[in-house]
Structure 1
Amino acid sequence: MIEISHSKDTLNVLSVDFAKHNKPYDIRQRTRLPHYLIRLQTEGCAHVWNEDHYDRIEAGDLLLYKIDDVYELKIGFNNPYSNELLPKISSMDYFLMIQGTWVEDWWAAKDRNPVTPIRLDERLIMIWRQIIQEKRRIHDSMEEVLQYLTKAFFLMLDRLIDESNSSQAKSRYVPICNHMKYYIEQHATELFTLQQVADHASLSISRAGHLFKEVFGQTIMDYAIEVRISMACERIEYSKMTLEQIAELCGFQSYTYFHRTFKTRTGLSPSEYRDRTTHK
């Protein structure tokens, strides 16, 4: 067990890994957890005990169990009560078992549902893998690295949970709209079309645009411009590139269009923005 602390906060990373199952898995008894458990189903399905019944867990379902919660996991069963097996078993999940005052504070900051569907965000999975790799380093593990990775992981979890809970009425559309949103963020500096965004979500152009506007209150291209302007502001403030270079690198086809859009969005021209941020 690696115990890491910062000031009065402690994080005890007990176990962290991923598991792939192609055979039935059954804990066979319900136990009260002596630690916090975070588990994310990434492929296939499973069943977990929730108060007085089994919940079916699908890819994208996040499990949050606190100390003393009753936990039971079954994988590979079509019916967890009769133990009827699935014809084909393929399940994968990531898990983290942890203790510490920092996690206690994180848990207490909000209501935590035991099962929450979230977007399968590659950035979260990447941090999870880095925590796994750092935990496996026996002789040269750095406590500070593990601490910051773990805290970043929980903050990323909060963001994804907030996205999922943003609107109960729209919850069925949030995952697919977040999928489009992530595509826009990844390709904001490129010239992409509405068709490409819609294809990424396996939707028609009209359906993609309608759902995105319903969930986020803005159009797909409006959000793309918002991301590009945000990137431009950062580069104007922290780089020595010319404004023309910044416009091109941030996905604007011409400096004239960039100048007009930037001033409309920020109230300042790019040069005025640079002058103001340079002389803070």
Structure 2
Amino acid sequence: MDDIFIRFCGFSYHTKGYHSQDTEPLTRYLFRLQTEGTSEIVFNNERIAIKKGDLLLAKPGDTYELKIAENQRSGDYHVSIEGAWVDDWWNRSKKPSISNIYLDDRILGLWRHLTLEKRRPLSEENNELALHLIQALCLTLERSLNETAADINRPYAVTRMLRYIEEHATLGLKVDDVAEHTGLSVSRAVHLFKQTIGKTMIEYAQDIRLSAAIDQMKYTTMTLENIAEKCGFSSYAYFHRVFKKKYGMAPGKYRER
């Protein structure tokens, strides 16, 4: 981990225009995620309009300019890094220069945490934590890119539903909330999800809750009643019934094994 060097990391928000002046080839990796509004970049002499959710992954040798017009509103996270670990991570799979990813709480949370850590005074900065955060960010971005590639033949609304359910399955998820998140009627959202995924939203959420419960049973000493509550089940009796139907044994028996 000591061979990762974070040169800068931050969040920018522009409302009065901006134009980066450095047109020399990059000497480090640059990642930029558009989180709000729009912008324009000139990447390797190609002019590209950037919208919310667009992720730029640039490598050393690429050229990059950022242009934001006077009437544009633009917000983005960005980080510049280098090092042997980053080289290995970059080279192990193809990384698209520009892609549009789902802005979930995992990616935004990691980037926000890393940015805040790098803003600390040098005397208070935890370099080990920052290095783990940048590694986690790279791996999470890679997963998001792989999920995006797998979602090519899937309606974007269904992808949004999947990500929303994954984030909220253990928090008292309601079908109405999923539909509202994607801007669809409940009936349309329910039909589209079942048609595409082959199971209902509740069944998908149930699988996530059960997986979370198994982790809690394996790695904590929490009571089964507390685990059921923590993982989003309305009661222990309901958790017991669903678990036994799925795995063919009661939760207590599973935990003993």
User: TM-score, normalised to structure 2's length?
Assistant: 0.89
Shift of 1:225: 0.4
Shift of 1:140: 2.6
User: CA 1:210 to 1:65, structure 2 compared with 1: closer, same or farther past 3 Å?
Assistant: farther
Find the partner of 1:31 among 24, 28, 35.
24
User: CA 1:31 to 1:183, structure 2 compared with 1: closer, same or farther past 3 Å?
Assistant: same
Shift of 1:231: 1.9
Q: 2:132 matched to which residue of 1?
A: 148
User: CA 1:46 to 1:226, structure 2 compared with 1: closer, same or farther past 3 Å?
Assistant: same
- Aligned pair count reads 256
Conservation of the 8 A alpha-carbon contact between 1:31 and 1:72: no
1:34-45 maps to which residues of 2 (within 5 A)?
A: 34-45=27-38
| Equivalent position SS for 2:16 | coil
In the alignment, structure 2 segments of 5+ residues that lack a partner are none
User: TM-score, normalised to structure 1's length?
Assistant: 0.82
> What is the one-letter code of the residue matched to 1:152?
A
Find the partner of 2:50 among 57, 68, 82.
57
| Equivalent position SS for 1:165 | helix
Greater CA deviation, 246-255 or 137-146? Answer: 246-255
Shift of 1:38: 0.1
Q: Distance in 1 between matches of 2:224 and 2:104?
A: 33
Find the partner of 1:139 among 119, 123, 129.
123
Q: Distance in 1 between matches of 2:18 and 2:59?
A: 22
Q: Distance in 2 between matches of 1:267 and 1:182?
A: 28
User: CA 1:168 to 1:182, structure 2 compared with 1: closer, same or farther past 3 Å?
Assistant: closer
1:46-96 alpha-carbon deviations (Å, 9 max, x no partner): 1122445311100100000000012122112xxxxxxxx6xx321111110
For the aligned residue pairs, the C-alpha RMSD in angstroms reads 2.2
Q: Distance in 1 between matches of 2:55 and 2:172?
A: 34
Shift of 1:17: 0.8
User: CA 1:214 to 1:75, structure 2 compared with 1: closer, same or farther past 3 Å?
Assistant: farther
1:159 aligns with 2:181: no
1:194 aligns with 2:175: yes
Greater CA radius of gyration, 1 or 2? 1
> What is the one-letter code of the residue matched to 2:37?
G
Q: Distance in 1 between matches of 2:13 and 2:228?
A: 45
Q: 2:4 matched to which residue of 1?
A: 11
| Equivalent position SS for 2:209 | helix
User: CA 1:12 to 1:219, structure 2 compared with 1: closer, same or farther past 3 Å?
Assistant: same
Q: 1:264 matched to which residue of 2?
A: 245
Greater CA deviation, 226-235 or 188-197? Answer: 188-197
User: CA 1:221 to 1:142, structure 2 compared with 1: closer, same or farther past 3 Å?
Assistant: same
1:164-209 alpha-carbon deviations (Å, 9 max, x no partner): 1113222xx33x4343334323432344432222112211123222
Q: Percent identity?
A: 40
Q: Distance in 2 between matches of 1:61 and 1:212?
A: 25
Greater CA deviation, 208-217 or 156-165? Answer: 208-217
Shift of 1:28: 5.3
> What is the one-letter code of the residue matched to 1:162?
N
Q: Distance in 2 between matches of 1:71 and 1:38?
A: 11
User: CA 1:244 to 1:139, structure 2 compared with 1: closer, same or farther past 3 Å?
Assistant: closer
1:234 aligns with 2:215: yes
> What is the one-letter code of the residue matched to 1:106?
W
1:105 aligns with 2:98: no
Q: Distance in 2 between matches of 1:123 and 1:44?
A: 20
Q: Distance in 1 between matches of 2:108 and 2:232?
A: 28
